[in-house]
Structure 1
Amino acid sequence: MSVTASPLLSLFGLGTANRLYLNYLHVTQHNTPDGGIPTIGLPGYSAPSAGTAALNHSGKVDTHNFYGTDSDYDDSTTDTATMRFEHDINDNTTIRNTTRWSRVKQDYLMTAIMGGASNITQPTSDVNSWTWSRTANTKDVSNKILTNQTNLTSTFYTGSIGHDVSTGVEFTRETQTNYGVNPVTLPAVNIYHPDSSIHPGGLTRNGANANGQTDTFAIYAFDTLQITRDFELNGGIRLDNYHTEYDSATACGGSGRGAITCPAGMAKRFSGHHRRYR
């Protein structure tokens, strides 16, 4: 199940040189994950050991089987708020400032089955009584991001060559908390007749959290040159400088890096709406 709300407000300036926009997005999802079914009986399947060779001839499982539990879930919530201000310096040049805050929270409990020889229990020689181990995959994480970008776009000519320039700066902070949770123990499941009416409960945080933060500063400039009506060149440069810090119950540390990217290309126009890029 998913619930989404996304109002957009244009506070002032529509049709003028100064414009302000506000946008908010909220998405909530409540899902039941499916960890899959055994591949027994499918082409290419081979029993994991000689002692379980009977599985090579026991037939496929019902594809409608569910090997999880009644407690399996996958919940997520996304909230994003955006504010953008635009100012037309002239007919060919516009400056924009965009600020965005976003938070994504997700937690889930998903049951998976383990088909190795050591995970199979054989109470009798009848494969209908055999069981496989189940394991609980868990996640409880919160991500936040705050970013601000100032961008200047302009179109102009130098002689007969047209320019379409985009340049700007960005500041971004990203944080993540990965909450430690207590392990969930699940009983084995019958291979051909799984019982999902198991209630191991939800996730319980244990305080063994992992936290990370990355701060990024970036500057960039790109230009598309209109050489002729049918031929364009584009290129630019972007410099990113970022610093990351991380700590957890088992490890801690920090690192900082910088990166420079210099994309370039050219375009051949074959018609009014089609181009070939290299």
Structure 2
Amino acid sequence: MAENNGNHGVVLNVNGEANQNPPPSTSKTKDSDVGFTVPFMQKLMAEVLGTYFLIFAGCASVVVNVNNEKVVSLTGISIVWGLAVMVLVYSVGHISGAHFNPAVTIAFATCKRFPLKQVPAYISAQVLGSTMAAGTLRLLFSGPHDVFAGTSPQGSDFQAFAIEFIITFYLMFIISGVATDNRAIGELAGLAVGATVLLNVLFAGPITGASMNPARSLGPAIVWNHYKGIWVYLTSPIIGAVSGAWVYNMVRYTDKPLREITKTASFLNSSRNCG
């Protein structure tokens, strides 16, 4: 199966040292717009590759589990998703911000921590990476081994919507904490986000697939032409992520100016224009 043994997608960001950034008035770069400069194209490439590897590893664990008498198990699937997020965050987070997730990109944009003009390009890159990964899996596991690697509600759509909202809400809440506040231990951000994904897949995977990521669900849906409950996965994670980001901003109160508590160069490299 693939739709209820724990799936995910998500993902993330953390920022570098605040004292390494230029003053707000001089921190904007040419690629803060949608101009397709070399640095911006590098960011998009990182998002395509990062999303591809995340979805390929996570969905492959689901497909292999179904085709091999549950040898991977729900726990194993959860670990794969969590570890995939963690290693990809550390490998390309300093390049693109390691979003891999339209919900994360949109949430940061609504908080003015990511250039709004870059959102469509980032989402396109993420959906492309997810679709390519799903297509690769279908080619490798075709015939009698063909297993839908997407997500489908195992209960009612309302139940799935609520669960996806909750798990994406606190995933984004945690991302906001470790990625935008230098009072957190930024070096552990990848571990924190990966562990959150692992936890979510453990309990929500059998119910909704624990998507937390519109691209994670849309890619396999396109490849397998399987759109059951897809509206849940295209709306609930986005609403949950935006809510999580804004709630963190409400509880992060400090007397310091925002620019003094906002990191800008590591995990969420592209947020430097928004602090």
| Higher RCO (CA < 8 A, seq sep 6+) | 2
TM-score range with shorter-chain normalisation? under 0.3
Q: Which has the larger Rg?
A: 1
More strand by share: 1
Structure 2 length-normalised TM:
0.20
